[in-house]
Each structure stands twice: as C-alpha cells, then as structure tokens.
Structure 1
Amino acid sequence: MKLLATLLTAAFLAAPALPTFAQQHGNAPAEKPAAAPAKPAAPAKPDLAQGESKFTAVCVACHGAGGNSGIPANPRLSQQHPEYIVKQLQEFRAGKRKSAVMQPFASQLSDDDMRNIAAYVGSSQAKPGFARDKELVSMGEKIYRGGIADRQIAACAGCHSPNGSGIPAQYPRLSGQHADYTAAQLTAFRDGARVNSVQMTQVAAKLNDREIRAVADYIAGLR
C-alpha cells in the first residue's frame, strides 16, 4: 500500500497543470500589456526674463545690450536663431569650438541658462550694419549671391538666404554682422582653427584673404 501511495503521489506531481474552467472557456482575466517606456521630459520653455538677467550678468560686457555688440571683433547676437546660439555655447563648453575667452563663460552655464539666453537675444531687435568698401562690396556680392563656379565655391545665399536671415535650426543669421568678426571666422575655418562645421571648412578653404574680406564686408550691409 505504501508503495502504491508513493507511486500515485509521484505521478500527480509530475503531471502537467490542467487549465481551469475559466481558462478553458476564455473567461480568464487578460494579461495587462507591458507599460510603454516613459517619454523623456520636454525641455522647459525658455524664460526671457531669466535669459536677460543671465545675459546681463555674464555676456553684456562683450556682446552689448540685447546682443548688439559695438565691438567689431565680438559678434552681434541680436535676432540670431536661438538653436544656433545654444549649439555654439554647448560646443564652447565641450571644447568642440575653441576659444580661450568663451569656454570659461560657457562652462558656467547650464543647458537652461543657454536656452534662456538664446531666446532673449534672439528676440532682441538687431541694429543695422554697414558695408565700408565699395570695391570689395561688389566682389562680395558676386560671391555671396552666385559663388565662384569655376572654383566650385557655393553661393553663401544658398544656405544663409539672399538677405542673410539664415534658416532657423540649420544656418545662422548673418545680416548686419561685423565684417571683422565674419572675416575672422572664415579665416579660422579655412586655416583649421575652427572645426565645428565641415561644410564651412570646405567653403572657406577655397577663399583667399581678399575674397574673405569682400564677403564679410557685403554681409555687414545686408538687412
């Protein structure tokens, strides 16, 4: 008897579990689908007041009230596309764009600071700039609008628009920018001192000093 009981117990334990009545007739509660992964929180909407406050504390000495720099070597930032400003500040902070002046300042800024500053200067009205050399302006206009076909130099207007307003989130606004600053950046791209745009490096590599000055002077008068 003990042997029979042992065999019956072993057989019961080894048998597969039978479905319940509810499972057989489709009344079992459905399994809950796996929860979708949580979406990352969207960045906070830029705060213009905070942007103005931080800009005044950190940036205004070099870039002027509202981003209208009066120093030819320092860029005008007013009405610049915010996405472009954020990108440049992040690249200064990361060391991708080199500047002994800008890197320490950018390192002090959080991502929210950068977005706030960019929104503030982007909403500030830009003061008009002026071209200075009539002879250079004529050459600069030809290059800016039509490029130099026989040297495979693309027209600047193709990316930065005919009036220099650029394309938000893609190409920066150039109109009214200081000629000295624009010329310095084109030279830096050409000579390898600035390397955070492959496209600009390829274009600037084909320009000589006079052509760079001409394009920069023409851009200063765009509006």
Structure 2
Amino acid sequence: MKKLAISLMLSLGLVAGADAGDAAAGKKIAGACAACHGQDGNSPAPSFPKIAGLGEAYIYKQLMDFKSGERQNAIMMGQVAALSEKQMQDLAAYYNSQTRTVGYAAEDKVELGQKVYRAGNTATGVPACMACHSMDGSGMDAAGFPALGGQHADYIKSQLVMFQEDKRANDNAQVMRDIAKRMSNKEIDAVSSYIQGLHR
C-alpha cells in the first residue's frame, strides 16, 4: 500500500504542467473524432471510449502518448500524427466540457463490482478504485485521474486486461498495471459493469 501511495504521488507530479485548452477551438477540429467517439464524445459503440467529461489533463496526456508512441493504437496514432500540442490541448478542453451519458450495470455484477470499486480487495492488495476515480466516478482531473462513471463496460474491461497483460504501459509509475495484475478476471468483469452504471 505504501508503494501505491508513492506511485500516486509521483503520477500527480508527472501530469501537472499542461496548459489549458480552448474548448471552442477544439470543437472546430473535432469532426474526425466523431466517427468513433460521437459528436459530443459519447461513443455509441462499446468498444470505443466515451471521452465526454473524461478529464482535460487525462485526455491531453493520452493524445500526447498516442503521438509519441507511448500508447499504442494504430487508429489513434494515425489520427493525432498531424496535430500540434495546442490542437491536442483544445480537443481535450472541448471533450472535457461535454456531458457524459450513463449506462446500466448488470444486476448480477453490482455486489462484487461495488465492493471492488469502493473497498478493493485487501487480501490481494487491490486498492479501492474510488481512491483515484472518486466515489461517483468523476475522477480527479487536476491529478490526471480520469472520470470513469458511465464508461462502456466493454472498454473498461479491455483496458484493465491490457494493463494486466502489459499491453498498455502508459500509466504513470505503473499504477494501473500493478493494480490490474492483482485483480481476478471476475473482479475485472464486475467492476467494469459497475462503472458503466456509476454516476453523480
């Protein structure tokens, strides 16, 4: 737990420093993003993330990571290749200004999902998700921790599995990789479903 706390503090420092973007300017260049993420950032496809209200610092970091190759995804790497840092800041500001839609959690997964999200699993060293992503899933934008509430369960599950398998490695101080590797597949499935129905 001490190692996790240190990792979280390090990640706070690594995210700071991005300038605020211009949401109006971001809206003007967001057309290409709409095909996968929806015009307002609420993707209708469960395999593509909802980026509305995700967190400006987090969105900007992901765009920068796709551009640098730190985060691998052929589609996104192609999309950001020609974007300037200012354009990425503007897109982050625009999508963060949008309101996230909320889905529903599967009834048979709520109990376990809620337990993992709110209390973690002390036996295996899994911390509560809400420690970084907040009780209602609204995240902590200043720290770069994304808002998860209402996110597609399929997308959350796929990202946790990628962290678990070291196929996604752009998490600051390996925080998400360390956590996901301690989670069972059943916990990942349940918490992903719970997050889909989580809202303010």
Interval of TM-score (by shorter of Structure 1 and Structure 2): 0.7 to 0.9
Alignment map for 1:8-27 (pairs within 5 Å): none
User: Quick one: distance in 2 between partners of 1:59 and 1:201?
Assistant: 27
Q: Following superposition, which runs of at least 4 residues in structure 1 exceed 3 angstroms of deviation?
A: 42-45
Deviations 1:88-147 (A, max 9, x none): 00000000011111111111211111111111111112112211x212121110001000
What is the CA distance between 1:48 and its match in structure 2? 2.2
Question: Partner of 1:92: helix, strand, or coil?
Answer: helix
Q: Which amino acid counterpart does residue 134 of structure 2 have in structure 1?
A: S
- TM-score normalised over the length of structure 2: 0.86
The residue number in structure 2 matching 1:151 is 124
Q: Structure 1 residues 44, 144: closer, same or farther in 2, change over 3 A?
A: closer
What is the CA distance between 1:169 and its match in structure 2? 2.8
Q: Structure 1 residues 190, 43: closer, same or farther in 2, change over 3 A?
A: closer
Question: Partner of 1:153: helix, strand, or coil?
Answer: coil
The residue number in structure 2 matching 1:13 is none
Deviations 1:63-106 (A, max 9, x none): 00110111100000111211110000000000001111111111
One of 150, 154, 166 as aligned partner of 1:192: 166
What is the CA distance between 1:46 and its match in structure 2? 2.6
The residue number in structure 2 matching 1:47 is 22
One of 159, 170, 173 as aligned partner of 2:147: 173
Q: Structure 1 residues 46, 139: closer, same or farther in 2, change over 3 A?
A: same
* Structure 2 unmatched runs, 5+: 1-16
The residue number in structure 2 matching 1:76 is 50
User: Quick one: distance in 1 between partners of 2:125 and 2:18?
Assistant: 41
Largest Rg, 1 or 2: 1
**Aligned residues, how many?**
180
CA RMSD of aligned residues (A): 1.5
* Structure 1 unmatched runs, 5+: 1-41
The residue number in structure 2 matching 1:215 is 191
- TM-score normalised over the length of structure 1: 0.78
Deviations 1:173-214 (A, max 9, x none): 000000000000000000010011100000000112221110
Higher RCO, 1 or 2 (CA under 8 Å, sep at least 6)? 2
User: Quick one: distance in 2 between partners of 1:88 and 1:215?
Assistant: 22
Q: Which amino acid counterpart does residue 133 of structure 2 have in structure 1?
A: H
User: Quick one: distance in 1 between partners of 2:33 and 2:135?
Assistant: 30
User: Quick one: distance in 1 between partners of 2:104 and 2:166?
Assistant: 28
The residue number in structure 2 matching 1:202 is 178
Q: Structure 1 residues 141, 109: closer, same or farther in 2, change over 3 A?
A: same
What is the CA distance between 1:50 and its match in structure 2? 1.9
- 1:113 and 2:87 are equivalent in the alignment: yes
